[in-house]
Amino acid sequence: MRGHDLINTVLPDELIIEIFNHLDGSKLSCDACSLVCKRWLRLDRSSRRTVRIEASGNPDVVANLLVRRFVNIENVYIDERLPVSLPLQFGYSTRPGLARPPTGKRRRGSKSARSSSKIRYSSENSASEGSNLEPYSLSDAGLNALAEGFTRLEKLSLVWCSNVTSVGLQSIAEKCRSLKFLDLQGCYVGDQGLAAVGKCCKQLEDLNLRFCEGLSDIGLVELAHGCGRSLKTLGVAACAKITDISLEAVGSHCPFLQTLSLDSEFIKNKGVLSVAQGCPSLKVLKLQCISVTDEALQAVGAYCSLLEFLALYSFQKFTDRSLCAIGRGCKKLKNLILSDCYFLSDKSLEAIATGCCELTCLEVNGCHNIGTSGLEAIGKSCPGLSELALLYCQRIGNTALSEVGRGCKLLQAIRLVDCSSIGDDAICGIAQGCRNLKKLHIRRCYEVGDKGIIAIGENCKSLTDLSLQFCDRVGDDALIAIGRGCSLQYLNVSGCHQIGDAGLIAIARGCPELVYLDVSVLQNLGDMALFEIGEGCPLLKDIVLSHCRQITDAGLTYLVSRCAMLESCHMVYCPFVTSAGVATVVSGCLKMKKVLVEKCKVSERTRRRAGSVLSYLCVDL
């Protein structure tokens, strides 16, 4: 019967909320549900669990509005990193994509998401009011409002909320005792606030203290004493007053700690030793501590047998002895990152290969003494390797990757940056052995050319993500093979000067699922390629055309007329693209969000027409 509300008549509240929970989670679906009727709006408010407050004109006001509207919030995420000013009289933006704040009266077209609410203010006039941003950061008053309104809070993220102090944090601790996740990155809270968290939040599991300059050992020691037995994840970075004393407390009172991330020049062996000995459940360890030596890493190898993820950054005081100890003791290691570890050699990778046969991900970055034989050992002994990244590894040659190709059949992702000794033979070896490869990123490997990429196209049919940046020897033949053999979704050939229309035409005809394309700095690329891309890639969302000197308005016009999903277009320094072409891109793509172009090419009419829709329309160069 027309007009009869059968759903609301038959279904109880609980069942409608359960249906809400099974939606796809998209903002469009959530908005549609909350706008159906007053009952559904009420159910949306009661079922929402998460709110997100981005950089805003006055987050304290937003916090007070939110606690009056929503009663069952469990997760709050506040990010103050983006510099946004306060519009006149706390006015709220009506731009598409920006949500209005909660009000008592519902308007047609307002934005409301069931699973998460994202609220922010207009950024217009931010340049003129940039000096007034600091007073509009979240304060203790706003945090207190959240504490009083969201007593069921389990997750709280306060990213760069510089005005929050221990007073606000104490309020959260005392009123939100079910808190399990706390991110204080960039907050200038003190020891009293952290001590209150330790005293009141006995279920705390995850704590991030990166860039909390106001903290000292006193606060972290008190927290470890108070809720150490529940703590599973701890991150500390750039906290000059936190030393080994804090880590000794963590080692003594946090027996179930599983993840530790340390970035400090003030932490030495004693602290890491305490954690290794007192936290046998440790699975993830990330260290950037220039004062730590072999002694600490040897203790990790001896006591942390469950370790699965190890990342070592900028270590200058330890040698192969550390990795040999890890290889002997950490048999479950699956992920290893070595960055700027100058004194490690092939012996380290050989020890890992021998002892850590379950290794799945390996990244070697700037370790100049690691060469071919070390990676060969990984290829022979680690058959489960699925991701490999080699950055600035000048001593690793073709035979190493060939061995990986023979031994690591499950490899799915490779990233190579500035590896001057790796060429076509290595890529051919990977192509023939790793036929499940899905992602291949190569940047400034000048010995890689058409031969290697053609082999990839012929053998790696699952490849969806290909990046060949500034590979001078790669030309059209390589892309023709890729177009015939692979269905790419992501392609970046920036700076490959030998690639022209023929290669991109093959991609357009063979990769209809392409969503991202970067062809910047291709001097031989013209409008014909854009015609074919428009015809063959209807799902394209992002395209980068900067420094393509042969592209004209005609090619752009055809592209935007066919690619209705296009959301971003970069076209800086394209001399034959005029203001008319820019206007066509802006007006022809209803979903366009970002256009990067010289300011001089944007007419006043285009600026008026698109200024309220596009975030980064004009850039002075």
DSSP state of 599: G
Rounded to whole angstroms, the Cα distance separating 262 from 288 reads 6
Residue 570 pLDDT greater than 60, yes or no: yes
Give yes or no for a contact between 360 and 386, defined as CB atoms under 8 angstroms apart. yes
Instruction: Annotate 84-148 with three-state secondary structure.
Output: CCCCHHHCCCCCCCCECCCCCCCCCCCCCCCCEEEECCCCCCCCCCHHHCHHHCCCHHHHHHHHH
Tokens of 341: 């570890």
Number of helices and strands in the chain (H, E): 24, 21
| Percent of the chain residues topping a pLDDT of 70 | 87
Instruction: Tell me, yes or no, whether 438 lies in a domain.
Output: no
Residue 546: pLDDT band with limits 50, 70, 90: very high
Instruction: Tell me, yes or no, whether 26 lies in a domain.
Output: yes
Residue 27: pLDDT band with limits 50, 70, 90: low
What Cα–Cα distance (Å) separates residue 120 from each residue in 32, 52, 93, 167, 615? 20, 9, 8, 25, 14
Where in the sequence is the domain holding 42, given as residue range(s)?
10-47
127-169 confidence digits (pLDDT tens): 333 334 444 688 999 999 999 999 999 999 999 998 999 999 9
Total-model pTM: 0.87
Give yes or no for a contact between 389 and 383, defined as CB atoms under 8 angstroms apart. no
Instruction: Tell me, yes or no, whether 40 lies in a domain.
Output: yes
Q: What is the chain's mean pLDDT, rounded?
A: 88
Give yes or no for a contact between 154 and 79, defined as CB atoms under 8 angstroms apart. no
What is the pairing mode between strands 335-339 and 387-391?
unpaired
Instruction: Tell me, yes or no, whether 17 lies in a domain.
Output: yes
Question: Which has more pLDDT, 45 or 436?
Answer: 436
69-118 confidence digits (pLDDT tens): 888 899 999 987 754 433 333 333 333 333 333 333 333 333 333 444 54
Instruction: Tell me, yes or no, whether 265 lies in a domain.
Output: no
Q: What is the mean pLDDT of residues 184-198?
A: 95
Residue 621 pLDDT greater than 60, yes or no: no
Question: Which has more pLDDT, 257 or 112?
Answer: 257
Instruction: Tell me, yes or no, whether 566 lies in a domain.
Output: no
**What is the pLDDT, as a whole number, of residue 133?**
40
Instruction: Tell me, yes or no, whether 149 lies in a domain.
Output: no
467-513 confidence digits (pLDDT tens): 999 999 999 999 999 999 999 999 999 999 999 999 999 999 999 99
Q: In whole angstroms, what separates CA 254 from the centre of its chain?
A: 29
In terms of Cα–Cα distance, which of 193, 203, 130, 189 is closest to 160?
189
DSSP 170-220: HHHHHH-TT--EEE-TT----HHHHHHHHHH-TT--EEEEET-TT-BHHHH
Question: Which has more pLDDT, 226 or 135?
Answer: 226
Structurally, how many domains does the chain consist of?
1
CATH number at residue 39: 1.20.1280
What Cα–Cα distance (Å) separates residue 558 from each residue in 28, 501, 538? 29, 15, 12
Residue 30: pLDDT band with limits 50, 70, 90: low
Decide: residue 147, CB within 10 A, 0-12 exposed, 13-18 middle, 19+ buried.
Answer: buried
Instruction: Tell me, yes or no, whether 277 lies in a domain.
Output: no
Question: Which has more pLDDT, 4 or 394?
Answer: 394
In the block, residue with structure tokens 């001078």: 472
Q: What is the mean pLDDT of residues 235-244?
A: 94
**What is the pLDDT, as a whole number, of residue 10?**
83
Give yes or no for a contact between 532 and 503, defined as CB atoms under 8 angstroms apart. no
